[in-house]
Structures are given as C-alpha cells and as structure tokens.
Structure 1
C-alpha cells in the first residue's frame, strides 16, 4: 500500500525535475572532426549529439506518455495500466467554464485495462500541480457515470471564487467508472457486461486510486501521503463505499447527498412512476399548488418566512396533502384523490417485502418543502408529462422514472424490454440482494476506517427529490448504534442543508433569490485530518459572499432569532 501514514513531506514538486532538465539542455555538446570523416560522418555525429538533448527535453511528466504500469501495482484484479497521454499544461484559465485560473500541472490520461478483452477499460485522468502539497483528491462521479470526470471542475460546495484544489497544491483525479456513454444507447445498458457492472458498483474507484498513485510516483518520485474522496450523489455513494470497503486507501471522505441505498431508491422511483401512470400524475401547476400550500402552513415554523421549510417535523404535523383534496365537485385549484394518495404514499417508507444488504427492508419517503424550486419535485418525481413506457424522450419524463426503470431493466431484470409497470422488489429477491451487497453503501461498520484515522463529512439536502435525505439519517443512526456515539463523533460529522435541492441550491421560489449554500468542505476535512482538530460550527455563504447561514449538524436546523436574516449570527442551530 502507498500513501498511508504521516504528514506530507515538504516538496518543491515535480516541476523541480523539469527545471533541472531545462538546465541540462543549456549545455553545449561539441564534436571534434577527424580527418577524412566526410559529410556522412559529420551528419551521423550531429544526430548522435542531438539524441541526448531530445531525451533531456522531456520532463518526468512528458516522459510518461505511452508508458505501461503493471497490473501488480493495482490492488484489485485487473489488467495493467496504459498511459495514453501525458503533457505539461501551463498555468492559465481552466477549460471548465466558470473556474478561476489553474496552475502549471502535469495532465495524464490513462486506462486500466479490463480482465476480459470484450469489456471496456476504466478511463481516468490525473492532474498533478508542479507545486504539489503531497495530497490528492479523488473526484466522484454522477448518475450512472459513463463520462470522464477530469478533476478540473470546481468542487460542488466550494464558493465559486475560492481557489481550485489544484491551486491549493492538491493533485486531483477522476474516472468514467469503467464505461463510456454511447449516443442512442440507454445509459444503463453497460450493466449487461459483468465486468463493467462490477467496476461501476465498487471496483473502479480503488483501481483508479492505485493507478493515480503509480502515476504520481513516476512523475514526482513519491506517492501521495494523503488521499481524499470527494463526491456528491452517485459520487457520494462512492465515497461512503470506499470508506466501508477500502478504508486502507483513503484518509478522508466528503460524501454529499449520497445515493446510499441505491437498489432501494430505484425501486422507490419506479413505484412512484407506477402510481402516476395510473392517474396520480401531478402537473407542474399542481406541484406549484402543493409548494405554495406547504409554505403557507410551514414556512414560518423556523422563525423566518423565507421560502424554506427548515423545521420538517413540525411541518409534517401542521400540513397534510389531503387538505388539497377536491371537494364538492371542484376540479380546479385542488388535487384529485389519486394524486393525494400518491403524495401520502411517496412521503411514507417504501417497503420491499424482503431485506436487502445489512438488513434494510424499506426506503425512506420523500422530504417536504421546496417542491417547485428548480431541480425539485418537477424534475425528479413528476416530470413535464406523465410516466410512460416504452420511454419517450427523457426530457419529458421525471428523472426518477427514467433512471429507476432503466436500472430495474438492466441491473435486475437484465432485459431491456422488461415493463417496469410489473416490477415488485420481492420478485427479484435473489438478484436484488446480490446487487445490494456490492452496490449499496449501507454497511454501518466504519471501525476499520476509524482505526486508520479516517475522517468523514456527510451532508444531506433537506429538499432533495432525487433521493431521500432520510436515507442519510437512517445510515447515521445505524453507524452510531454500531460504533457508539462517542466513537462516531471522533471520526465523523453529519450536516443538514435545509431548503436545498439535490445540487445544493436553495431558492426562495417567490423571489428567485438564492440562499446561502457554499462551504469549503475540502478545507474542513483537510484541517481535521492534518491538524487533528474536529470541525466546529460551519457557515454557508451565497456565491457572492453577501449572505451567510449556519450549516447545522444533524438533527438541528437553523432557527431565526431576530436581527439581519442575511447574517449567520441571527440564527441558532436548534433541534426539532
């Protein structure tokens, strides 16, 4: 294993080797002509003299292009590693829109070759700054992956104006998780290949971590002393999974809105689509009606009417969707019985009729509040049109239906033509348990991660309709029950971002005003791992830094106590 223990060494970075090569190129090689050698001998001598200059011109970065790394340096069974490109990138604007300038760096593209020749490779990218601090950040993916995560984007929670991890001296790297999306092919179809499925579920992430460390050894002369995993959504699942399954490889994890109970979520989303196909579908107008009624009953329960339902337990007691039921023959400005029943069911746990990995037999229900905000219930639960199958354009379907029924067909049924209207989890009990065992990040035993000295930051968004924040709460309680509250407090923190959608954006729908949602979680994690001091209260800001609000630890929410609502000091974290 590499990159295990102590504090990072002080280093001038791999750029020092490049500068040394540049000095070598400055010397002059001379040649003494021998009598009678002629023009041919002269030409050969010149070429021979130029050859070492060409070799010296390559930096340790550029010399890596075309290299191979043996499979023995990858901790899991795999093929070897092929470096497909390696080049020095000068300091300058980021190729990702909206990011600040990036420093000079070595950019390496490579592939971890598959064990089976017909299976796809795992594509990855490593970015190593010339002035390297000895630490590395592995970026998580999203959705069903299939797109190379370059490590050049800003971290999701980072304030836009904050320095990129590369500018702070971190190496970054990411992967496509072992398959590439193909135009015209459903994004879940890769799961029919067993090795691609294995890589996506869990294996690609430690393989790429080991490949990245091997690249860094060859360019900088040493492996990273610290490796962090930073992911949201699918990437959040990956982060929790590596802490659970591969704790010896990681020093810290940021896991935001993780799809912890992946198999359960796909069944939950499919059930929602089934009910809406049977007459319960809510139009965008109906979703806005629900949103407005929820705010009218609940917005001020946290001390401030700002478009955010922060005190969800009190809201559930104060408001029921049944209050919107049409009565007296009315059909406008109200909801039909089927729609009301769907909302009641959707907010309740989805019971499988069996148990998945780690004994889970149900998926938590949907949250309350934020239904009509961008990337809210319209996008994830109901969609522009009622669910259908065969699928029309995904643009007119809810994402939970589009993602969920594709997952059911390709991951469980292993049949693209399977009609998800027929789905019941118990009908696929054996396959669901087998998939859950490798895919779901629900193992509460973090004792090996704790023994390594690993640290975890977990975050849920309380208006997230892509997946239930209740899944994170249930996992946190399971970890505390397994390890004990004091032990968990020594290695982990769990935060709730109230009012935020899946992407971490909280919006007052009435005014369109963005609420605070940015915080430097990488800096918090690194300070905890390196300095040994647990994080204190955290504060989120708006993109421009003009407003702030506390980011409260579970189960608390920010309660407004008076004063300026744009200042974090005006709120106190209060348990519901």
Structure 2
C-alpha cells in the first residue's frame, strides 16, 4: 500500500469533523462500572418486555483487549438481545445496531464507523436484537405478534432495556444514545425516528429498506422474473456484466466532468443500449450483448409497470454504473443458480407482506405486476414502512439524522432515499430539515459497503460532533482500501453474493478468471446532497486532496410512480 502523502493527510484533517475532545474543553468523562456484571443477571425486566422476559446470562468477556459485561436474554415473546457494557472504558454513550435482511440473528457489526476512536477504544455500550425471531426464513410472518416485533417493537424495547442496564451497571444514565443501521437496519433506524423520536439523540440510516413492501414484494420480484427465460433459467449471466458496465462507462463516465470509472450522479446517464447489442449475424459476442440479453437489461433498469396504465410500480431501479454489483443479486453466475432477489421476494411474499398469506404453493411466477398487487402490498405499509416524513417532534427536540446510500446499490435503489429526503423538505421545509438532517450519496458504492467507489467511511464521529457539540457535518472522507487483488467485478475476491471457500484465491465456479491489478488507495470527499465532489484540476484525481465541492449535476424531478403518496403523512398500524 502506498504511504499517504502530506497533502492527503492535511486534506483528511480538513474533511473530518473534530472529535469531542478537540471540539470541547469538557469531554465526556470515562467511567467504570459501579456494580458487578453478574448482578445484572438477577434484574427483573418484565416491566419492559412483558411476562416471560428474562436475562439469561451476564458474563465478563474480553473482546479485543477490552473487558465487557455481555448481557443476553429474551424480551417476550421471543426478542433475543445482546448488550455489551464496557467494564472500565465507558464514555457515557450508547449505540444500538440495526439488523439487515429479515434479521433472525444478533449482529455485532457497526457499519459506517471506520476510524471512530471512541468506538474502537470501547467507549460505547452497544446493543442489538434479532428482531423477535431466529433464523433467516420468513415464517415468523405467519404470527401477527411476531410481525409487529419485527416491524417496530423489537428495536424500541431493546433500547429501553439497554438504558435500564446502563443505569443499573454504572449508577447513572447514558449522556447520549445513537442508532446506526443499514439495509433493513436503515428502515429500523427511520422507524425509530418516526415512531419513537425520544429513543435516540442521533440516528444514522444507510440504504434504508424504508419502502419495505414494495422493495421486497415488487422490486426484487421483478428483478428476478425479468431475468428469467421461458425455460425458467436466467438469460443474463454475471460473466456478461463487465461488457455492459464498460459500455455504460464509455458513454457516461465523462458526463460529470471527470473520467474516473465512477458516475458522480448516475441520473445524468441514459445509456444507449442499442449501441451495445450485437448485430444479428455476428458470431463473436465477447464485446456486445445479444438481443435477449439487452431486453433483460432494459427491464432491469426500468422496473415493473402496470400493463394497463404504464405506471411505474417502484420508485426506481438500479442506477447506471451499478452493473457489476448485479452479480449474485439478480444476475447469477450460472443459468440454473438461484439468486438473492428470488429468495428474498418469494419468502417475504409467502409469509410477511400481505395481510393474508398466499397459498403455500405460491411462486414468483404467480405474482402479477399490476396496480392491484401494489394496492394489496400497500395495506401493510403502515406496519412495516418507514416513509412518514413527520419528524417534527424528532427535530424540535434537537435530535439529528444522517441518511446515506451508495449510488451502485443493486438491492435498494438510492432513489428511495432521495425521495424520503425530498419528502422531509416538503413536510417540514428546507430550513428545518437543514437543521437536523444530512444526506450523503456515495458514487460507485454497492449495498452498505463494497463496490468500485470508496466505501469506507465514518459517520458516527460527525454524528457525535453534531449532537454533542452542535458542529453540523460537512464533507465526509470516504476511502477505498487496497488490499489487493481486484477481480473483473470490482470486488476483492469474487462477485458480490458469490459463495467462496475460505482462503480461496480463484474465481467462483462458472465465473471467468479475475483480471488483477494493484492500484493506490483511493479517497474521495462526499458532500451533503445535492453537492458533488469535483476534481480541482490539480494533483491525483483519485485522491481526496484533489477534490472540491461542486454544484449539483442533476436538477430534474424524481421519476413519477404509483407509490409516491406513500412518502406522505400516514397513521402507523399497531
């Protein structure tokens, strides 16, 4: 790895917000426990979770050299939780971690916090939950109570429990509480802001599955079926994606004023797919796509439409420039390989999304992409959805929200996050929103991490500075690590979603051998939306020190679609 230059180091210091210790002469005091960890096991938590709630164990453990009191148990009926309380290094902060997908496990991974010093030093109590069920299938949705726990209750009662444990263990409450989650964890983050605005002082919501029913029931279902031929096998395979991606970049990379392999705002790009299609009589298809493959690509970009009215049924599809990230999500390695989109959509539609579940024999092929299907899914939006823009109470109490999304996300279109940002402004006004919310869009970044663009970032430190010191976040530094061998999909060691053998260095079965290059570490400032990062004309264009804030590149409206009304006020379903 190339050593960073002095200019880059100075740029980093300029971009990153001050730490609490730097920003104030009175940083939070570091505290130790005032009672034993084992004593927490005897606490009665039924007042929080209901009858049958209990702490299963409370034990001291060493985690990466930091002594932690780890408390585990269940909030009734089946909400598993794990709370980690540092024994001697607590800085009076609590951080709750969101859970992705359909959850079913307890995550200990904090995203979008790389380099956050208090976190690395064991300064946070950390809490997480499995959202009320165990395992990655969706059968929990057959029970109305477990649906509610997954939709909104589990994160709320886990927050109440963690705060109760903090009081018991340290003899005082936390000074600040934070939530960070991505994907469904981002939905959970927004649900907390909307339903329980007093739970957290600062909330970080990444790539939020905020439009839950449409996301899983229409978007992923369409992406799966659009790439399914009459024989039930995939038409477009992952080995063909580099051909498409190179063509899109050739047409659109320079539109943002910088040819760097990343689209600063993919909405500028309207790829001419006809130019990528192989002539009918051409035998060599190594540099072009067949008519059948092009037809699939059109469907994947465009998304489902009602066959009668032509109305769009989703807020948007994957954006141009994201093509390499489709591998393993809705474009398989082999024609008969099951893809993520099929799995997540079929499970959710069978058990979770409709008021009444379809027959056990239901398959995606049975789903009509129509206004009626959208209307049926919309009936549970007030339960699962997190698109309500009424954050007046959240904002008025001084709480802060950071939204972020990768432009190359294949799982959830970033247009959904932009739509929520715009809905907030429409509901509360620009001035109010500017006082409590920021949106960051990351060029070339996939779902929650990875991709071709710089995806490592720390949003927790700027959030702490905003909440605790009143320092509003500006540019955030993003970096792309350079461990390595980068394959033809722009990912270390394989395409996203590909199953790998531990330690394997070759391509997954059925994928072409990777083209390997070594490049310097890439870094880029990301500015609050709608500003973009632009090359200053001096220095290495792949380094943050050579970038500066630029005016918005795209000023057009969001695509019209049938569900825009979901991003308006509504009454939550309990």
TM-score (norm: length of structure 1): 0.77
Q: Residue 289 of structure 2 aligns to a residue in which SS?
A: coil
Structure 2 unmatched runs, 5+: 1-25, 483-519, 554-574
- Distance change (3 Å), C-alpha of 1:301 and 1:88: same
Residue 573 of structure 1 aligns with which residue?
549
Question: What secondary structure, in the 3-state scheme, does the structure 2 residue paired with 1:416 have?
Answer: coil
Larger Rg: 1
Select the residue among 67, 81, 87 that pairs with 1:104. 67
State how far apart, in whole Å, the 2-side matches of 1:9 and 1:201 are. Answer: 36
Aligned to 2:492: none
Residues 162 and 137 from structure 1, CA distance in 2 versus in 1: closer, same or farther, beyond 3 angstroms?
closer
Contact 1:178 1:200 survives alignment (8 Å): yes
- Report the equivalent of 2:102: 144
The yes-or-no answer on 1:518 pairing with 2:449 is no
State the Cα deviation string for residues 301-322 of structure 1 (Å, max 9, x = none). 3343332222423322xx2223
Secondary structure of 1:506's counterpart equals coil
- In 1, Cα distance between the equivalents of 2:29 and 2:442? 38
| 1:220 maps to which of 167, 170, 175 | 170
Structure 1 match to 2:224: 273
Q: Deviations over 1:378-414 (max 9, x none)?
A: 1212122447xxxxxxxx3221222112211222334
Q: How many Å apart are 1:66 and its aligned residue?
A: 4.2
Q: CA offset at residue 260 of structure 1?
A: 1.6
Indicate how the Cα distance of structure 1 residues 12 and 454 shifts in structure 2: closer, same or farther if over 3 A, else same: closer
Aligned-partner Cα distance in 2 for 1:164–1:14: 15
Residue 379 of structure 1 aligns to a residue whose secondary structure is coil
- The structure with more helix, counted as a fraction of residues: 1
Q: 2:6 — aligned with what?
A: none
1:161-200 correspondence runs (5 A) = 162-163=116-117, 165=119, 167-181=121-135, 187-200=137-150
Residues 1:434 and 1:370: Cα distance change in structure 2 (over 3 Å): closer
Alignment partner, residue 319 of structure 2: 367
Match of 1:63 in 2: 39
- Tell me: higher relative CO, structure 1 or 2? Use CA pairs within 8 A at least 6 residues apart: 2
Query: Aligned-pair distance for 1:431?
Result: 4.6
Structure 1 CA distance, aligned partners of 2:45 and 2:479?
44
Equivalent in the alignment of 1:491: 436
Could you tell me which runs of 5 or more consecutive residues in structure 1 were left unpaired when the two chains were aligned.
1-7, 19-58, 95-100, 115-120, 355-359, 388-395, 508-514
Q: Deviations over 1:147-175 (max 9, x none)?
A: 112x3x3x22233x654626252111101
Match of 1:126 in 2: 83
Q: 1:133 to 1:529 in 2, by over 3 A?
A: same
Contact 2:214 2:374 in 1 (8 A): no
Equivalent-residue separation in structure 1 for 2:173 and 2:361 (angstroms): 47
CA pair 549-86 structure 1, distance change in 2 beyond 3 A: same
Q: 1:48-447, aligned counterparts within 5 Å?
A: 59=36, 61-71=37-47, 73=48, 78-79=50-51, 81-90=53-62, 94=63, 101-114=64-77, 121-129=78-86, 130-149=88-107, 151=108, 153=109, 155-159=110-114, 162-163=116-117, 165=119, 167-181=121-135, 187-266=137-216, 267-278=218-229, 281-316=235-270, 319-330=271-282, 332-333=284-285, 334-351=288-305, 362-372=314-324, 376-386=325-335, 396-411=337-352, 412=354, 413-424=357-368, 426-428=371-373, 431-447=376-392
Task: After superposing the two structures, state which structure 1 stretch, 422-431 or 266-275, moved more.
Answer: 422-431
Match of 2:8 in 1: none
CA-atom RMSD in angstroms? 2.6
State TM-score, norm by structure 2: 0.77
TM-superposed CA distance for 1:205, in Å, is 0.5
SS state at 2:379 partner: helix
User: Number of paired residues?
Assistant: 475
2: CA distance between counterparts of 1:573 and 1:313? 19
Distance apart, 1:276 and its partner CA:
1.9
Asked if residue 462 in structure 1 is aligned to residue 414 in structure 2, the reply is no
Whole-angstrom distance in 1 between the partners of 2:358 and 2:228: 23
Matches of 2:187 and 2:274, distance apart in 1: 34
Aligned ranges 1:19-30 → 2 under 5 Å: none
Residues 497, 552 of structure 1: 8 Å contact kept? no
